[in-house]
Amino acid sequence: MGIRIALAGNPNCGKTTMFNDLTGASQYVGNWPGVTVEKKEGTYTRDKDVTITDLPGVYSLSPYSPEEIVTRDYLLDGRPDAVINLVDATNMERNLYLTTQILDLGLPVVVALNMMDLVEKNGDKIDAALLSKKLGCPVVETSALKGRGMDDLLKTAIDAARKGAPAAPDMRFAPEVEEALAKIIDVLGARVTPNVARWFAIKLLEGEQKTIDQLDLPAGDLSVISAVREALEDRMDDDAESVVTGERYDAIGDVVSAAVKKSLKGTTTTQKIDRVVTNRWLGIPIFVVIMFLVYYISVSTVGTLFTDWANDGVFGDGWLYTGTEQYDEAVGAWEESVAAAEEGGASEGELALLAEEEPDPAAFGWYVPGLTPVVTDALESNGVAPWLTSLIVSGILAGVGAVLGFVPQMIVLFLLLSLLEACGYMARVAFIMDRIFRKFGLSGKSFIPMLIASGCGVPAVMATKTIENEKDRRMTIMTTTMIPCGAKLPIIALVFGAIAGADAASTWWIAPVFYFLGVIAIIVSGIMLRKTKMFAGEATPFIMELPQYHVPAAKNVLLATWERVKSFIVKAGTIIFLSSIVIWFLMNFGFYEGAFGLLDTEMDDYIQYSLMAGLGNAIAWIFAPLGFGNWESTVTSITGLVAKENVVATVGILTSLGEAGEADPSMWMAFGALMGGSVPAILAFCAFNLLCAPCFAAIGTIRRQMASAKWTWFAIGYMTVFAWCVGLMIYQFGMLLGGGGFNGWTGVALVVLAGMLFQLFRPMPRYDGKSSAGRLEAEKNAA
Cα first-last separation, the chain: 53
d(CA 45, CA 529): 50
CATH of the domain at 247: 1.10.287.1770
Number of structural domains the chain divides into: 3
Residues 126, 210, single domain; the answer is no
Last residue of a domain, one of 118, 140, 163: 163
pLDDT of residue 776: 41
Residue where a domain terminates, one of 131, 163, 195 = 163
User: Three-class SS of residue 695?
Assistant: coil
User: Is 617 within a domain?
Assistant: yes
Q: In what order do the strands lie in the sheet with 27-31?
A: 27-31, 38-44, 47-54, 3-9, 82-88, 109-114, 139-141
Domain check: are 693 and 658 in the same one? yes
Task: List per-block mean pLDDT (blocks of 10 residues) for the chain, which spans 783 residues.
Answer: 89 84 73 65 89 89 81 90 92 89 93 89 88 93 88 94 90 90 90 90 90 88 91 88 89 90 73 83 85 76 72 76 86 86 82 82 86 86 84 76 71 83 79 71 70 71 70 85 78 72 55 78 85 72 67 80 75 69 82 80 73 85 85 80 71 53 48 74 86 80 81 92 92 85 88 91 66 42 38
Residue 63, judged by CB atoms within 10 A of its CB (0-12, 13-18, 19+), counts as middle
The answer to whether residue 318 sits within a structural domain is no
Phi-psi category of residue 148: left, alpha or beta, with phi > 0 → left and psi -120 to 50 → alpha: beta
- Mode of pairing for the β-strands spanning 109-114 and 139-141: parallel
Paired strand residues for 30? 39
In a domain, 687, yes or no: yes
Residues 21 and 128 in one domain: yes
CA distances from 444 to 484, 698, 779 (A): 19, 22, 23
What residues make up the domain containing 708?
Answer: 410-771
**CATH for 153:** 3.40.50.300
Is 181 in the same domain as 128?
A: no
Q: Are residues 128 and 181 in the same domain?
A: no
Nearest residue to 411 (alpha-carbon basis) of 305, 336, 329: 305
Domain co-membership, 150 together with 180: no
CA separation (Å) from 412 to 299, 307, 402, 409?
9, 11, 18, 5
Q: Is residue 313 part of a domain?
A: no
* pLDDT of 130: 93
Residue 283 lies in a domain: no
Considering 246, 261, 276, which residue would you say is the last residue of a domain?
261
User: Does residue 625 form part of some domain?
Assistant: yes
Model confidence, pTM: 0.60
Is residue 237, in this structure, part of any structural domain at all? yes
Residues 101 and 184 placed together within one structural domain of the fold: no
Same domain, 586 and 674: yes
d(CA 510, CA 299) in angstroms, rounded, equals 9
CA–CA distances in Å: residue 121 to residues 36, 116, 202, 524: 39, 8, 38, 44
Residue 652 and residue 678 share a domain = yes
- Is 621 part of any domain? yes
**Amino acid 265: pLDDT:** 65
Do 38 and 116 sit in the same domain of this protein? yes
Same domain, 183 and 138: no
**Same domain? 89 vs 65:** yes
